[in-house]
Structure 1
Amino acid sequence: MDPLLPKPIPIKGGGKQGGEEEEEEILRKTWTEVKVLWYIAGPAILTSIFQYSMMSVTQTFAGHIGTLALAAVGIQNLVISGIGFGITMGMGSALETLCGQAFGAGKLSMLGIYLQRSWIILLFTALLLSPIYIFATPILKLLGQSAEIADLAGKFSIWMLPELFAFALNFPIQKFLQAQSKVMAMAWISFGALVVHVFLSWFCIIKLDMGLVGAAVTLNFSWLVLVLGQLGYILAGNCKEAWIGFSWLALTDLASFVGLSVASAVMICLEYWCFMAIILLAGLLRNPKIAVDAASICMNVEGWCMMIPFGFTAAVSVRVSNELGAGRPKAAKFSVLVVVMMSVIIQSIIVAILLITRNDFPAIFTESKLVMKEVSRVALFLSGTIFLSSIQPVLSGVAIGAGWQAVFAFINLGCYYIVGLASSVLLAFKFNMGLEGIWTGLIAGIALQTIILVVITWRTDWEKEVIVKCDV
């Protein structure tokens, strides 16, 4: 464990210590766990904010080019890049399970092997996904998007092809560093990449008036800076025990590694693509430019608000996998309880701020009064998804840390698609509720999923999980 990381106090079973002493003991354990979680979650939240900001900055600048440009970039980011992002992030999440448990079990040399296996699999996957970027225009038209939006989004998508291979390299590196709690380095490198991106975006898109070509050039270059920065950190000797150089062992046991990677990808993609489908459904409503722009802005805002739960997801995934790998089931369970509590409190505050400013924040993203009005109308529904997401991503992190990806993939399929999207289509088009109907269906799916995840996590036999999971 990182020497700066405070050591968690073991959660002991046994008899009660009496009123005040027991209460003090619980508070002491909670405070210790809070410090451990924030040591990981704080930099992880910053990393998520900085990396998400690169896409958000591009979309914001595109909104000042014009309504069509904003719609095209929104569709490309959330649909075409969303496919590549979701699959590569999902497959890379297999390392959260494997590296986290290997680190907890003290098998540090395996982390570098797992990293190299993941690179091989994800780069090959990126190659297979390339046609989606290349043929984005006909794909979007087939999905019902207007020809005007699909044509421009398709051109932008081809220019963004290098980003796909950056995803394939980035996510395994992140999980490799995250498992070792080297999250502060990730935060600083991501911040540097964001600074570069903001300056280049202003210079190319506004100053040189390069439009969407400038947006693509700057976003691709910024992802390259991010990947090379993280790779340089590893090769500079900052992970000596975990990275012992390139090895032929990375080419062995690929089949089982692919199995966990695919399960991880399915679990995460089913969730991520449901949000992507919201944009597609918005494009089928009346006045699709306004609907797509409003939905894109809401997704952008939700993405920002999800940075804290995503940071907690990373923290609880590390804590659960490390504690299970080390054979400490009660500490793993206690960590889950603490992180859910923190996430709910913080997201409730964010929801309150969002509702208070619902008539003002849309102006950050667009100058269109019609788009701003539509975003304000949907803000109440958006707040509902943000509140529910204070719990759901954290419990997904528990699933990844414990290696439950296959089970949770079926849960996501039922909740998001059989319940969520089906309800969205029915309410939006049958009952003419428009974008509000789409979002109501999404809330129904997330609510059901959250209830199921809470029940599964609560009923888990953590002692049994240690017996199964610590054999890395």
Structure 2
Amino acid sequence: MRGREGEEEESASRIPLLKSPDTAGEDGGGLKRKVWVETKKLWQIVGPAIFSRLTTYSMLVITQAFAGHLGDLELAAISIVNNVVVGFNFGLLLGMASALETLCGQAFGAKKYHMLGVYMQRSFIVLFVCCVFLLPIYLFTTPVLKFLGQPNDIAELSGVVAVWVIPLHFAFALSFPLQRFLQCQLKNQVTAFAAAVALVVHFLVCWLFVDGLKLGVVGTMATVNISWWVNVLIMLAYSVCGGCPLTWTGFSSEAFTGLWEFLKLSASSGVMLCLENWYYRILIIMTGNLQNARIAVDSLSICMTINGWEMMIPLAFFAGTGVRVANELGAGNGKGARFATIVSVTQSLIIGLFFWVIIMLFHNKIAWIFSSSEAVLTAVNKLSILLAFTILLNSVQPVLSGVAVGSGWQSYVAYINLGCYYCIGVPLGFLMGWVFDFGVMGIWAGMIFGGTAVQTTILGIITMRCDWEKEAQKANARVNKWSGTIK
């Protein structure tokens, strides 16, 4: 074991992200240089992450766009499956995989490179078992949606579509750990390449299944399975076939040790992120109980799809911030972690302001890609101002969550999310939507300003008051503890 660690120490000069921004600033002098050095390090992760996340999410957007031109019912069914059924499980599994950002990021900063492969294998095991337990959500979509008050025609077709995305569900169990394994060691060009190939495949398969073979709504949804598995297989082949010699040493029985501790951290990460992710899924379910539900669901789903599309940028900052903070804390550099946080929040906010302006300027045109129905277009136009403010708030909130992941605060933040979103936001949305009769705008506004804004404010205060040197000591203790489980 000692020999392997010695080899890793000798290889440190070939591994990026080990030099802190504070040290770089002392060498080059001045705040501008420190910002530039940190920006380069951040965008080495964020740039490819934005590309790969946008392309993978675009697969769902392309699918929804094809469905939208089949009819309002087909659009509503695929929108519910994408945004509620798949989105529900996506949020939980993505959150559970984000435990790797804490562990892999801090281990990488502490130069314990061999641990990254073991952590990834543990994540494979935990997420696959979780996928099996989540299968009933796909199998019983129709009765669940009917119980929640969705119209019968939408619920029936959604149930048919949901069964066809089960292969996508299991793709998540491999895709999310692989992405984090690669991004923590700056192999982001691999994830970007895999996503680009998968997007091209997806577009071609969509054209073949929908326009060529006329397979309808089922064929439309089946295309997502093919493209996501292409993405997964490319990343897996690179990772296990020699692309990561320091961090991948082969499949090992060591992955089955320490699973309980790993499961607890993964569960905390999953709860933290899925409480955020499910929040807007609940918004769509609540909207389905309004009058004229089909138009309301269609218009809100279009807004949520646009929001989700843009959200890939803050989520890339979430990943980048988590890695940068974890790297610096793992290396014992609390000041570097604080500086990385400031740079990331500032840059993500600037991008959020840009898209806020875009939505405000083109509020009456943003729905054309998804629907040609005048009723849907008018409804989306009315909701556009709320969409703009949601995008603005979400340019900060995921970055602060990334700080939490990089620092290992998942369980703490999960309680904050539960209180803000479900004890404040949902009741306020219900109050404004039904009691004050503002409909879907009232539901959405209450959930934005009652939940998201409060949660962002609390996370901001916690981050500003954080003792970063103490967090660096905790990270060092965590790395030693988790490394010790396989000695």
Same fold at TM > 0.5: yes
Task: Give the Å deviation of 1:13.
Answer: 13
Tell me the distance in 2 between the aligned counterparts of 1:3 and 1:337: 27
Q: CA deviation at 1:5?
A: 4.4
Note if contact 2:118-2:252 (Cα within 8 Å) is conserved in structure 1.
yes
Conservation of the 8 A alpha-carbon contact between 2:311 and 2:391: yes
Residues of 2 paired with 1:25 and 1:232: CA distance?
Answer: 43
Question: 1:435: Cα distance to partner?
Answer: 1.2
Give aligned pairs, total: 466
Aligned-pair identity (%)? 48
**Counterpart check, 1:27 vs 2:32:** yes
Q: Is 1:11 aligned to 2:17, yes or no?
A: no
**Partners in 2 of 1:307 and 1:138 — Cα distance?**
32
**1:236, distance to aligned residue in structure 2 (A):** 2.2
Residues 1:42 and 1:245: Cα distance change in structure 2 (over 3 Å): same
**What letter corresponds to residue 397 of structure 2 in structure 1?**
Q
Tell me how far apart the structure 2 counterparts of residues 29 and 152 of structure 1 sit (CA, whole Å): 55
State the SS of the aligned residue for 1:246. coil
Output the amino acid matched with 2:454: L
Give the structure 1 partner of residue 129 of structure 2.
Answer: 124
Secondary structure at 2:332 match in 1 = coil
**Equivalents in 2 of 1:385, 1:330: separation in Å?**
31
Does 1:56 find its partner at 2:61? yes
Counterpart contact for 2:21–2:37, Cα < 8 Å: no
Spell out the pairing of 1:28-427 with structure 2 (5 A cutoff).
Answer: 28-427=33-432
TM-score by length of 2: 0.93
Q: Match for 1:456: what amino acid?
A: I
TM-score when scaled to structure 1? Answer: 0.96
For 2:122, give the aligned amino acid: R
SS of residue matched to 1:65: coil
C-alpha offsets along residues 241-295 of structure 1, whole Å, 9 cap, x if unaligned? 1000000100111110000000000001111001100110110111000000001
Amino acid at match of 1:450: T
1:454 to 439, 451, 460: 460
User: Which structure 1 segments of 5+ residues have no match?
Assistant: none
* 1:468 paired to 2:455: no
Whether the aligned pair in 2 keeps the contact of 1:358 and 1:376 (CA below 8 Å) is yes
- Does the 8 A contact of 1:294 with 1:375 survive in 2? yes
- How far 1:196 sits from its partner (Å)? 0.2
8 Å CA contact 2:99, 2:405 repeated in 1 = yes
Does the Cα contact within 8 Å between 1:7 and 1:36 map onto a contact in 2? no
The Cα shift of 1:9 comes to 4.8
1:7, 1:376 → 2: CA distance? 48
Give the Cα separation in 1 of the matches to 2:140 and 2:416. 31
Q: Is the 8 A contact 1:8 1:32 kept in 2?
A: no
Residues 1:6 and 1:324: Cα distance change in structure 2 (over 3 Å): closer
Deviates more, 1:3-12 or 1:327-336: 3-12
* Distance in 1, Cα, partners of 2:125 & 2:17: 35
Shift of 1:466: 0.8
Deviation readout 1:397-433 (Å, 9 max, x if unpaired) = 0100111000000111111111111111110111111
User: Does structure 1 conserve the Cα–Cα contact (< 8 Å) formed by 2:21 and 2:38?
Assistant: no
Cα deviation, 1:422-462, whole Å, max 9, x if unaligned, reads 11111011111111101111211111011101100000000
* RMSD between aligned residues: 1.8
Instruction: Report if the CA contact (8 A) 2:24-2:34 is conserved.
Output: no
CA distance in 2, matches of 1:143, 1:303: 23
Deviation at 1:10, TM superposition (A): 4.0
Letter in 2 for 1:334: F
For residues 23 and 108 of structure 2, the distance between their equivalents in structure 1, rounded to whole angstroms, comes to 23
- TM-superposed CA distance for 1:11, in Å, is 2.0
Distance 1:257 1:277 in 2: 29
Describe the SS at the equivalent of 1:363.
Answer: coil
The corresponding residue for 2:4 is: none
Residues in 2 aligned to 1:53 and 1:2: alpha-carbon distance in whole angstroms: 37
> How far apart in 2 are the matches of 1:134 and 1:159?
10
The 1:169/1:70 distance shift into structure 2, 3 A limit, reads same
**Aligned with 2:395: secondary structure?**
coil
Structure 1 residue 235 displacement after superposition:
1.8
